[in-house]
């Protein structure tokens, strides 16, 4: 069993063991975890016995809150880095010198970092479909938290990222909830 399957299994067991009032909080907590996100958290909730609408709302809320935190941290970090770059200081030189002709002080370090398959796919979607497309299609490649961090880190306005991440979370959480509910309905009808 891989680590994600183990996390899902543990959350399903937890939902079944806690009081009914606490069950949506478990779905909310599961939604905040990357790779679980809102869609899987909603499935966990529905399969754990939570009403589908409550499971979807809790999972989407947990997912959005975690994306909100990631966007806030990434935005502050980007502001600090961009603010520092305005005063160019190179390695071994004084103020006004830089390590490479571009003047960004990064040298060849940034270009030698390998890019993951999911990041390459997200970048293609971003170029082709813009922020809305990258946000909605992003969960097919990488978790929403990572997508939001990449978008904000590249300079996309926070509000635009949060708007489209919210749309994506609602869409994918609804798909996950309806899928789990339909699977349970089919299984109940078959018995």
Q: Give residue-wise pLDDT tens across range 163-175.
A: 999 999 999 999 9
Q: Given a cut of 80, is residue 96 above it in pLDDT?
A: no
Residue 34 domain-assigned (yes or no): yes
C-alpha distance across the termini of the chain, in Å: 28
- Please list the alpha-helical segments (H only) found in the chain: 3-17, 23-31, 37-47, 52-85, 117-137, 144-153, 158-190
The span from the CA of 144 to the CA of 89, in Å, is: 35
Residue 107 domain-assigned (yes or no): no
Residue 141 domain-assigned (yes or no): yes
Q: Given a cut of 90, is residue 162 above it in pLDDT?
A: yes
Residue 122 domain-assigned (yes or no): yes
| Angle in degrees, 0-180, between the axes of helices 52-85 and 158-190, rounded to the nearest 10 | 150
Rounding to the nearest 10 degrees, give the CA dihedral for residues 160, 162, 167, 173: 160
| Between 8 and 60, the higher pLDDT residue | 60
Task: Retrieve residue 45's tokens.
Answer: 């909730």
The pLDDT confidence band at residue 9, using thresholds 50, 70 and 90, is: confident
- Domain holding 175, by residue range, is 3-82+115-186
- Which of 63, 89, 47, 13 lies closest to 170 in space, CA to CA? 63
Residue 97 domain-assigned (yes or no): no
Our count of domains for the chain comes to 1
Residue 102 domain-assigned (yes or no): no
Q: Given a cut of 80, is residue 42 above it in pLDDT?
A: yes
The pLDDT confidence band at residue 178, using thresholds 50, 70 and 90, is: very high
Residue 100 domain-assigned (yes or no): no
Residue 142 domain-assigned (yes or no): yes
pTM, 2 dp: 0.75
DSSP character for 89?
B
pLDDT at res. 86: 63
The span from the CA of 116 to the CA of 112, in Å, is: 13
Give CA 94 to chain center in angstroms.
40
pLDDT at res. 43: 92
Residue with tokens 């200081």: 89
Q: Give residue-wise pLDDT tens across range 98-130.
A: 444 444 444 444 456 787 887 788 778 778 888
Q: Do 23 and 48 form a contact (C-beta atoms < 8 A)?
A: yes
Task: Retrieve residue 135's tokens.
Answer: 């946000």
């Amino acid at each position: 069993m891989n680590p994600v399957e183990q996390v899902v299994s543990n959350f399903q067991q937890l939902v079944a063991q806690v009081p009914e009032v606490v069950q949506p909080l478990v779905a909310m907590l599961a939604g905040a975890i990357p790779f679980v996100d809102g869609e899987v958290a909603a499935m966990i909730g529905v399969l754990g016995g939570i009403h589908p609408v409550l499971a979807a709302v809790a999972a989407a809320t947990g997912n959005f809150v975690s994306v909100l935190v990631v966007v806030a941290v990434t935005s502050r970090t980007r502001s600090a880095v961009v603010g520092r770059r305005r005063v160019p200081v190179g390695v071994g030189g004084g103020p006004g010198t830089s390590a490479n002709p571009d003047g960004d002080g990064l040298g060849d370090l940034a270009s030698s970092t390998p890019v993951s398959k999911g990041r390459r796919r997200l970048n293609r979607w971003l170029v082709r479909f813009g922020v809305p497309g990258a946000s909605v299609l992003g969960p097919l490649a990488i978790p929403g938290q990572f997508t939001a961090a990449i978008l904000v880190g590249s300079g996309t306005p926070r509000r635009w990222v949060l708007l489209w991440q919210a749309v994506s979370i609602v869409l994918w959480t609804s798909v996950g909830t309806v899928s789990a509910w339909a699977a349970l309905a089919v299984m109940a009808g078959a018995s």
